[in-house]
Chain A
């Protein structure tokens, strides 16, 4: 009886040791994954901030003004003027669509068949 208990305990210790060993490696694996992810996030952040800075640089008012002037013939952009405000009731709605023509009745004959 006692022998069996010893064997079972030893097996239990083996099992636990194996489990701890696996957990240890799994943790290390996860940690290294986290590290690389954090690194990637960091790089992405840097890239994002560079992109944001570039976006702001490309959209700076000086450049937009120059572009508007260069493309004036094509776009005709001018500074906003007070008289460009409109009222909602000045907006024309699209006309109601024509009713579908169904059940066509021919009212004229084909040319040349006239009596």
Chain B
């Protein structure tokens, strides 16, 4: 590099000679040198900026291009990370408390047609009608030869049918994979499970959505891919449920009833071990919903155990007795005036038979005296009765987790007058579902705690708030036992299981007001074993009628009670309950004095 001197002698000397300041020349030179340096530095900076700009541009282009590629590419599973052997089902299974399958998925195919691809539409239509006799041949030919580009033929076909269609060999008939919901046990627990159907449908897959029961209630859980391998565990027991449905069906036929409902509930956990409503249906092939004008209660889809609200009659009497004891108004031996008929304004309360002039509280329950219970309700008062029944959950839809339960809003009197209090004490004027009744009896059976009925398996007791003292609940249990051992429910005796319970026979209300003379709802609400209750059993028969000992009988003691007894005899061993002697009962020993 050639350096230009700042003070070149060639210019300094003549400048000095002229008497000029030579420093000016030096400054001038310094200025020039700085200018030069500046120009160089700018050029360098510019080139650097350019390079940097270019590299940023490249980086952005690469990132942008990659993003565009990712956005347009098909997603695929990352292969390198081993996510375990979980290939999620489309919908989680539903199992019973022992893990036996109640609902699962099954791979099938759907059949669709693309008429433009068809070789011989007429022949294909004829072949299809041979395989599926329910198809309309004319309509198919019209569709296949018309302008349509795509049509569904069958939503679900079996492997045999698929093979048969395949053998037709028409390229325009195509199959799409379908995951369908399968209920391997058929009608078993149909009302709890509900059913499922297809939601949005595409060629390669279809959404499976729950339409009723737990399938709909827990739809979000079941559809969540994260729960694909975590089945929904219900509290039902498959074996007990099967036994219940069989016994109930037999009982319904024998008693000539229109319908029947049964509930078996654990009194400590609130788990419903079995619940059934007859007539029933097959959730694999769910019948259509009742249309306008049909009585919804007659449809097999109607769940009598949860949806049906009925006046459950005398089964409510034990609540009045338990409350009277809990409030300290009475003890089991307190005498109650039962002289009748009891008049209240224009209304007259009568008993089924004349039981004399006074009975002890225990006897009022054992003999099922309406007048006696009404008198107890008078002493309790409408306000306190209302609070007590509300604490037992009789005012709200039952918390049982199926979607139909929200429809079980109990029917209450618009004004809770003293007369309402009196009729409600023996179960008239209030309509609840059998599930409400089961929860109420469970509170008496477990020593006074409310438990909410549930369909999910629980760990350990789930006792809710206390609604009555343990002593009064215990006394009420003893009364229930006496109803069976010496009262209206004597057919309910099952040796070894100390059944206690209360019968209830209520006249069915006519749709246009008033009550039928010859149509009743017979209910038996029971607990067993009465000295240490573990389970509540509710059996309700709709319009039962049995001809015994020379007359037609409809009362619960002759209809619902024998069915419930048979039910307990069948299911108690399945529940692992060993028959045992009641305390205080000397088995087979007759005490004598010498």
**Could you tell me if A49 and B188 are in contact, using CB atoms closer than 8 angstroms?**
no
A91-B578 Cα distance, complex, nearest whole Å: 17
Interface residue stretch chosen among A69-77, A81-89, A105-113: A81-89
Chain B positions 75-103 with a Cβ under 8 Å from a chain A Cβ = 77, 79-80, 82, 85, 87, 89, 100-101
A79-B570 in contact given A62-B186, A85-B578 (Cβ < 8 Å): yes
Interface centre among B185, B494, B572 (most CB of A within 10 A): B185
Q: Which residues of chain B are within 8 angstroms of A41 by Cβ–Cβ distance?
A: 85, 87
A59-B100 Cα distance, complex, nearest whole Å: 10
Q: Which of B101, B106, B238, B243 contacts A79 (CB 8 A)?
A: B243
Q: Which residues of chain A are within 8 angstroms of B106 by Cβ–Cβ distance?
A: 49-50, 53
For chain B, the count of residues having a C-beta within 8 Å of the partner chain is 34
Q: Which residues of chain B are within 8 angstroms of A53 by Cβ–Cβ distance?
A: 101, 104-106, 182, 184
B292 CB to nearest chain A CB (Å): 35
Instruction: Indicate whether A42 reaches chain B with its CB closer than 8 angstroms.
Output: yes
**Could you tell me if B184 and A56 are in contact, using CB atoms closer than 8 angstroms?**
yes
Instruction: Indicate whether B15 reaches chain A with its CB closer than 8 angstroms.
Output: no
A71 CB to nearest chain B CB (Å): 18
**Could you tell me if A85 and B100 are in contact, using CB atoms closer than 8 angstroms?**
no
**Could you tell me if A85 and B104 are in contact, using CB atoms closer than 8 angstroms?**
no
Instruction: Indicate whether B574 reaches chain A with its CB closer than 8 angstroms.
Output: yes
Q: Which residues of chain A are within 8 angstroms of B246 by Cβ–Cβ distance?
A: 65
Interface centre among A35, A50, A55, A60 (most CB of B within 10 A): A60
Instruction: Indicate whether B242 reaches chain A with its CB closer than 8 angstroms.
Output: yes
**Pair count A-B, CB < 8 A:** 73
Instruction: Write out, one digit per residue, whether chain A residues 26-43 have a CB within 8 A of any chain B CB (1) or not (0).
Output: 000001001100100110
**Could you tell me if B242 and A61 are in contact, using CB atoms closer than 8 angstroms?**
yes
A78-B144 Cα distance, complex, nearest whole Å: 57
**Could you tell me if A56 and B101 are in contact, using CB atoms closer than 8 angstroms?**
yes
B88 CB to nearest chain A CB (Å): 9
Q: Which residues of chain B are within 8 angstroms of A79 by Cβ–Cβ distance?
A: 243, 570
A83-B246 Cα distance, complex, nearest whole Å: 21
**Could you tell me if B80 and A34 are in contact, using CB atoms closer than 8 angstroms?**
yes
Instruction: Indicate whether A14 reaches chain B with its CB closer than 8 angstroms.
Output: no
Instruction: Indicate whether A80 reaches chain B with its CB closer than 8 angstroms.
Output: yes
A45-B93 Cα distance, complex, nearest whole Å: 14
- The chain A residue sitting closest to B101, CB to CB, is A56
Chain B positions 565-590 with a Cβ under 8 Å from a chain A Cβ = 569-570, 572-574, 578-579
Instruction: Indicate whether B285 reaches chain A with its CB closer than 8 angstroms.
Output: no
Q: Which of A42, A46, A84 contacts B573 (CB 8 A)?
A: A84
Instruction: Indicate whether B413 reaches chain A with its CB closer than 8 angstroms.
Output: no
Instruction: Indicate whether A22 reaches chain B with its CB closer than 8 angstroms.
Output: no
Q: Which residues of chain A are within 8 angstroms of B53 by Cβ–Cβ distance?
A: none
Q: Which of B100, B105, B185, B579 contacts A49 (CB 8 A)?
A: B105
- The chain B residue sitting closest to A83, CB to CB, is B579
**Could you tell me if A82 and B185 are in contact, using CB atoms closer than 8 angstroms?**
no
Instruction: Indicate whether A57 reaches chain B with its CB closer than 8 angstroms.
Output: yes
A57-B87 Cα distance, complex, nearest whole Å: 23
A42-B79 Cα distance, complex, nearest whole Å: 13
Chain B positions 502-560 with a Cβ under 8 Å from a chain A Cβ = none
**Could you tell me if B579 and A60 are in contact, using CB atoms closer than 8 angstroms?**
no
**Could you tell me if B572 and A82 are in contact, using CB atoms closer than 8 angstroms?**
yes
**Could you tell me if A56 and B104 are in contact, using CB atoms closer than 8 angstroms?**
yes
Instruction: Indicate whether B296 reaches chain A with its CB closer than 8 angstroms.
Output: no
Would you list 30 pairs from A and B whose C-beta atoms are within 8 A, ordered by A residue? A31-B80, A34-B82, A38-B77, A42-B87, A45-B85, A45-B87, A49-B89, A49-B104, A49-B106, A52-B101, A53-B104, A53-B106, A56-B100, A56-B104, A57-B182, A59-B100, A60-B186, A61-B188, A61-B238, A62-B185, A62-B188, A62-B242, A65-B246, A79-B243, A80-B570, A81-B569, A81-B573, A82-B495, A82-B579, A85-B573
A residues with a Cβ closer than 8 A to B are 31, 34-35, 38, 41-42, 45-46, 49-50, 52-53, 55-57, 59-62, 65, 79-85
Given contacts A34-B80, A56-B101, A56-B185, 7 further A-B contacts (CB under 8 A): A34-B82, A49-B106, A53-B184, A56-B100, A61-B239, A62-B186, A65-B246
